[in-house]
Structure formats: structure tokens, C-alpha cells
């Protein structure tokens, strides 16, 4: 197959339910996608969300921090009777907005950037004193968003609707392919994914990981990869399209 990624194999580490889109873009560019999820996502049972969902009718602001928050959070919210009609809904990045649209929510306020800092810079979130804010996220998410809104006077609660964990897939086929020179690039969407991948690969795979170009859709993730010891960590635009374009551009300029 011809294309800008012809002859290249890219490791896709997204969770199983999110890997297909990136894999298809890699194949459309002529490359081969080796799918090996290094992060598992599971919904928190609705029964465990009862206390958080009880806050939903009073929420003036809902913030969805990721596509998974949109997917699992909207499922729980629909089961609880739906969104308050007057609530403002914010999405951290266009990928989260697309996930909300896929879940049936047509409009959300989205910042130009793709992180909590960009969201917090929005004028609509400057004057939140006394307002009830529900942050929809995974268990144990990043504290910056909630801490900043609370410092601005908001009453912040969480709807932690999914859990992240390390999968238990057998890495032997991946290691064999990699040791034979068959992996040309790695994609990771979080520092946690990178650490899980290292854990799954074990000591035998660590040199392979550290010496293969790693592509990440945010500068913070790429910087975390460098601190981890990755020799070449490349920042791309967000989402599947951004990662695929980053791969194409990098291999075009480095061959």
C-alpha cells in the first residue's frame, strides 16, 4: 500500500473502545497499526454514583473533562433523568465536544485549547462565585480545574463516572514484533498510558520503548515522556486526526 506512512508500523495504545479511529487513519495513510491497549476504561456502576447524581438538579455548570467523561457521564446522567435545562455545559477540547454530540448533547462551550488551563481562561468561567459546578471526570482526575473554580467561589462537586486501570494483555507478540524492528513509532494519549505500557513490556521492552519515537497529543504528555527517558517525544495536535497528521509530518521530514 502506498501513502506517506508506507512501510511504517505505529503502535496504538488507546483503550480498546477508542483505538479504531486512529488505527484507521494510520492505515489510510499507508501504514500498519499495531493495536495494543495500554489503558483500560470501565464505567463506575450507576449505583455508586447516586450521591453525585443527587447534585445534578442544582448544578448551574457542568464540565466534561474528556471524551470518556462525556461517554460514561452522559449515560449516567440520562439514566438519572437528564441534564438540568438551564445548566451551562463545558467541554475540555473538541474531542470531548464530539463525544457529547454523539451522546445526544448538541451544544457545549469549548475553549480554543485542549486542556483545563484553556477552559479556565474562558470569560464564562471567571465569575462563578456561589454557583454549583459539577465536574464530570474519571476517578482521581487532575485537581487543577476543581481547585481553581473553588478558589473563584464556586461550589464544586464531582461525578467520577469511570475508572482507569492497566490491562493484562500478553505483551509477547508485541515484543517479538518490536525486537524484530517492526515498530517504528508509539502513540500515547496520557502519561499514565506510557507508564502502563512500560509496566506491560517489562525490562526486556524498556530499551525499545525509550528509543522509539513517541507521539503525544499534548505538550505536557510529551514532556512527561522525556522525563521518563524517551529519547524522541513529539507533540502533535489533539485527537486522532492530530496524531495521524503528526506521524505523517514527522516521517516525511525524518526519512
Q: What is the pLDDT of residue 44?
A: 96
More confident residue, 33 or 116: 33
Which pLDDT score is estimated for 115? 86
Summarize pLDDT for 36-50 with one digit per residue, the tens.
999 999 999 999 999
Question: What's the whole-number mean pLDDT along residues 154-169?
Answer: 95
10 Å CB burial of residue 123 (0-12, 13-18, 19+) is: exposed
Average pLDDT over residues 210-236: 96
| Separation of alpha carbons 146 and 39, rounded Å | 24
* Of 200, 201, 230, residue with least CA distance to 215: 230
Query: Does residue 157 surpass a pLDDT of 80?
Result: yes
Q: Residue 95 has what pLDDT?
A: 87
> Which overall architecture, per CATH, does domain 9-39+167-253 show?
3-Layer(aba) Sandwich (3.40)
Determine the Cα–Cα distance for residues 198 and 202; give it in Å rounded to an integer. 6
User: Does position 2 have pLDDT exceeding 90, yes or no?
Assistant: no
Q: What is the mean pLDDT of residues 142-171?
A: 95
pLDDT tens by residue, 66-100: 999 999 999 999 999 999 888 999 999 888 999 99
Q: State the average pLDDT for the chain.
A: 94
Quick one: how far is CA 33 from the chain centroid? 19
Which string of b and e fits 63-82 if b means at least 16 CB within 10 Å?
bbbbbbbbbbbbebbeebee
Count of other CB atoms within 10 angstroms of residue 195 = 17
Tell me what the mean pLDDT of segment 191-209 comes to. Answer: 96
Query: How far is Cα 166 from Cα 164, in angstroms, rounded to an integer?
Result: 7
Report the C-alpha gap between 145 and 120 in whole angstroms.
7
- Structure confidence at residue 231 (pLDDT): 97
Cell of 22: 486512529
Please give the Cα distance from 93 to 75 (Å, whole number): 20
Please provide the CATH number assigned to the domain covering 42-163. Answer: 3.40.50.10090
Contacts of 229 (CB under 8 A, 6+ apart): 210
SS3 64: strand
Query: How many angstroms separate the CA atoms of 6 and 18, rounded?
Result: 23
Q: Tell me, what's the pLDDT at 198?
A: 97
State percent of the chain over pLDDT 90.
88
Asked whether residue 133 carries a pLDDT value surpassing 70, the answer given is yes
pLDDT at residue 113, as a whole number: 80
- pLDDT computed for residue 138 by the predictor: 94
pLDDT at position 254 is 87
Task: Please tell me the distance from the alpha carbon of residue 74 to that of residue 196, in angstroms, as a whole number.
Answer: 27
Residue 166 has pLDDT above 80, yes or no: yes
82 vs 76: CA distance, rounded Å: 9
Which residue ranges make up each domain of the chain?
A: 9-39+167-253, 42-163
Query: CB under 8 Å to 43, separation ≥6 — which residues?
Result: 72, 75, 76, 161, 162
Quick one: pLDDT band at residue 62, thresholds 50, 70, 90? very high
Are 9-39+167-253 and 42-163 in the same CATH fold? yes
Q: What is the pLDDT of residues 231-248, one digit of tens each?
A: 999 999 988 999 999 999
pLDDT for the residue numbered 1: 61
Amino acid at each position: 500500500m502506498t501513502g506517506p506512512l508506507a512501510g511504517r508500523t505505529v503502535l496504538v495504545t488507546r483503550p480498546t473502545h477508542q483505538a479504531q479511529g486512529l488505527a484507521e487513519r494510520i492505515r489510510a495513510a499507508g501504514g500498519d497499526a499495531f493495536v495494543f491497549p495500554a489503558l483500560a476504561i470501565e464505567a463506575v456502576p450507576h449505583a455508586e454514583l447516586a450521591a453525585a447524581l443527587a447534585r445534578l438538579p442544582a448544578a448551574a455548570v457542568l464540565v466534561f473533562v474528556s471524551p470518556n467523561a462525556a461517554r460514561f457521564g452522559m449515560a449516567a446522567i440520562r439514566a438519572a433523568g437528564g441534564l438540568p435545562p438551564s445548566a451551562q455545559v463545558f467541554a475540555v477540547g473538541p474531542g470531548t465536544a464530539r463525544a457529547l454530540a454523539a451522546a445526544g448533547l448538541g451544544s457545549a462551550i469549548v475553549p480554543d485549547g485542549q486542556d483545563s488551563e484553556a477552559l479556565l481562561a474562558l470569560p464564562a468561567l471567571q465569575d462563578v462565585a456561589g454557583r454549583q459546578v459539577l465536574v464530570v471526570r474519571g476517578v482521581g482526575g487532575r485537581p487543577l480545574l476543581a481547585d481553581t473554580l473553588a478558589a473563584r467561589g464556586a461550589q464544586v462537586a464531582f461525578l467520577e463516572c469511570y475508572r482507569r486501570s492497566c490491562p493484562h494483555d500478553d505483551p509477547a507478540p508485541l515484543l517479538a514484533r518490536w525486537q524484530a524492528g517492526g515498530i517504528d513509532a508509539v502513540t500515547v494519549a496520557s502519561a499514565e498510558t506510557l507508564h502502563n505500557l512500560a509496566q506491560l513490556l517489562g525490562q526486556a521492552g524498556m530499551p525499545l520503548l525509550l528509543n522509539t519515537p513517541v507521539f503525544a497529543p499534548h505538550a505536557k504528555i510529551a514532556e512527561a515522556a522525556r522525563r521518563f527517558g524517551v529519547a524522541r517525544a513529539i507533540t502533535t495536535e489533539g485527537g486522532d486526526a492530530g496524531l495521524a497528521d503528526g506521524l505523517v509530518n514527522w516521517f516525511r521530514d525524518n526519512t
